[in-house]
Structure 1
Amino acid sequence: MSRAFTREEDSENAIAGIGERPVSQHRNLVTPKGLAMIDAELAGLRAALANAETASDRERIALVSRDLRYWNARRENAELSVPEPNSGVVRFGMTVSLEGEDGAAVSWHIVGEDEADPAKGSISHVSPVARALFGKAVGDTIAVNGREWEVVGLG
């Protein structure tokens, strides 16, 4: 095949030896904070692309362009979701407090995939724990990885 018939983005990726960032097949639910995070990523990447183009840094252009394609796709299919006030059951965007059978306590804020950070107390809505929690109320229990947890609070 002639090089004249290759897509520009393919040649950009070949320069840096990178592939595309995979876009999740799950619904792209986002909290207001998650939507703002996506918008901030896009703004930062647009500025980075302008700087890379000014410097004629082809490898950096390829990397930033790839990330821009990813975040543009995530922004296009983002679905802002805010839980109903005073909902009695676990929904996307809520913080859920759990207590284990051993008395251990943990709280998880259920958020979109891109904003999830378990080390900071937020989990993706497609995680096994979040899926087990959806629709549960205070007093209900879930079993995850062989451990039982009771829902003790919703926020």
Structure 2
Amino acid sequence: MSRAFVKEGTGELEPLPDLPISPHPNYVTPRGLASLRVRLAEVQDDLARLRARPERLDKLPEAAAERDIRYLEARLRGAIPVDPAVHDLRSVAFGLVVTVADEDGHETKYEITGEDEGDAALGRIAPQSPLARALMGAEVGDEVTWRRPAGAMVLEVVRIAFADDAPR
């Protein structure tokens, strides 16, 4: 183990540096809030298991779990729940799913979610992303310009809907 995080003389680890917290407001969907709570409980359980090990020479996993707990607790304290059901589906807003068509007519769905919920593979994007910023407030039939590193892309808003798991 690296001696960089070990206190002199005690063998105890210094706390690992905290994970960076986003400077943006922490808007969360109901699913995102529940996911943060589940993740916190899982990490707390992991830490309890780590502390119960008979052989605890390597305390780095415990320090990592403690760091993760601090991060998740901070994200939960700063969470701003937003219920997508308050939206009327006339314009793109946080928590809604928007279907867009590119210049070739290829359709893609995106859901605007909290940062901790973002997952490109699932089409979940954070409200601070360039795509979400371009889409927010757009209505069906509107064309928006998505400014991306590979060049600007014009997208037409085809449909706005609630997420499949959103309460209504």
Aligned mates of 2:30, 2:15 — CA distance in 1: 33
TM-score of the pair, normalised by structure 2: 0.80
SS of structure 2 residue aligned to 1:98:
strand
Instruction: Indicate conservation of the 8 Å contact 2:125/2:132, yes or no.
Output: yes
- Counterpart of 1:110? 112
SS of structure 1 residue aligned to 2:63:
helix
SS of structure 1 residue aligned to 2:111:
strand
Instruction: Indicate conservation of the 8 Å contact 2:44/2:69, yes or no.
Output: yes
Aligned mates of 2:130, 2:99 — CA distance in 1: 16
Amino acid at match of 2:158: V
Cα distance, 1:85 vs. partner?
4.1
SS of structure 2 residue aligned to 1:12:
coil
Aligned mates of 1:24, 1:43 — CA distance in 2: 22
Once the two structures are superposed, what CA deviation does each residue of 1:29-73 show, in whole Å capped at 9, x if it has no partner?
A: 011110010000110111111111112341111010010010000
Moved over 3 A (4+): none
1:11 has 2:14 as partner? yes
SS of structure 2 residue aligned to 1:154:
strand
- Counterpart of 1:77? 78
Instruction: Indicate conservation of the 8 Å contact 1:92/1:111, yes or no.
Output: yes
Name the one with the larger helix percent.
1
Amino acid at match of 1:79: I
Amino acid at match of 1:12: P
Aligned partner of 1:129 among 117, 128, 131: 131
Cα distance, 1:22 vs. partner?
0.6
TM-score of the pair, normalised by structure 1: 0.87
Percent of paired sites with the same residue: 38
Once the two structures are superposed, what CA deviation does each residue of 1:62-90 show, in whole Å capped at 9, x if it has no partner?
A: 01001001000000000110122423111
Cα distance, 1:26 vs. partner?
0.4
Q: Please give the root-mean-square deviation of Cα atoms over the aligned residues, in Å.
A: 1.7
Gaps of 5+ in 2: 1-6, 162-168
Instruction: Indicate conservation of the 8 Å contact 1:100/1:150, yes or no.
Output: yes
- The 3 A distance-change label for structure 1 pair 87 and 103 is closer
- Counterpart of 1:23? 21
Aligned mates of 1:46, 1:141 — CA distance in 2: 46
Cα distance, 1:12 vs. partner?
2.9
Gaps of 5+ in 1: 14-18
Instruction: Indicate conservation of the 8 Å contact 1:12/1:59, yes or no.
Output: no
Moved more, 52-61 or 96-105: 52-61
Cα distance, 1:152 vs. partner?
0.7
- Counterpart of 1:47? 45
